[in-house]
Amino acid sequence: MLTRRQTLTLFAATPAVAMMARPAFAATPEIYAEGGIAIDGTDPTSYFTAGEPIAGSAEYALEWRGAAWRFANAESQALFEANPEAYAPQYGGYCAWAVSEGYTASTVPEAWRIVDGKLYLNFSNRIQRRWERDIPGNIARANTNWPSVLQS
């Protein structure tokens, strides 16, 4: 049986204990992959080889960094396999504008730009136009924020 003082002490300590016992939240995945598929199934090499996003095929796919990547053909898949960092979008395929602002956001394959040989994606064409107002500054801020924004 608890005394009145012990009961009051227990109740007083309960909120503090509850605040310390927060559930652990998983970090944001390293690669933005809706349904587990990177760039909505777009062939990442197509931005470099064709100058436009081309849909990939489930027939030509591989797993890299926890996401499924699709390719238009075997040649594109081989290019990516040989050097995935050269073709994968920056910031794990998250919106370059959002990362420059300190958070992550989804992207669409149609809002893209290659800068200094690197692929950058954005949330939408409207956001991409905002990002393009200061590409060097936005890239510098995003580079500073990446990958710590995954822990937010």
What is the DSSP pairing of strand 42-43 with strand 67-71? unpaired
Cα–Cα distance measured from residue 70 to residue 41, given in angstroms and rounded to the nearest whole number: 5
The answer to whether the beta carbons of residues 27 and 148 sit under 8 Å apart is no
State both tokens at 135: 């590409």
Tokens 């005394």 correspond to what residue?
A: 3
Please determine, for residue 24, whether its predicted confidence score (pLDDT) is greater than 60: no
Binned at pLDDT 50, 70 and 90, residue 23 comes out as very low
Cα–Cα distance measured from residue 110 to residue 102, given in angstroms and rounded to the nearest whole number: 22
The answer to whether the beta carbons of residues 70 and 100 sit under 8 Å apart is no
One-letter amino acid of 149: V
The answer to whether the beta carbons of residues 34 and 68 sit under 8 Å apart is no
Tell me the per-residue pLDDT of 32-60, one tens digit each, with 9 for 90 and over.
Answer: 999 999 999 999 999 999 999 999 999 99
Cα–Cα distance measured from residue 67 to residue 148, given in angstroms and rounded to the nearest whole number: 19
| CA-based nearest residue to 56, from 86, 83, 33 | 33
Q: Higher confidence at residue 15 or residue 29?
A: 29
Mean pLDDT value across the chain: 88
Contacts of 124 (CB under 8 A, 6+ apart): 108, 111
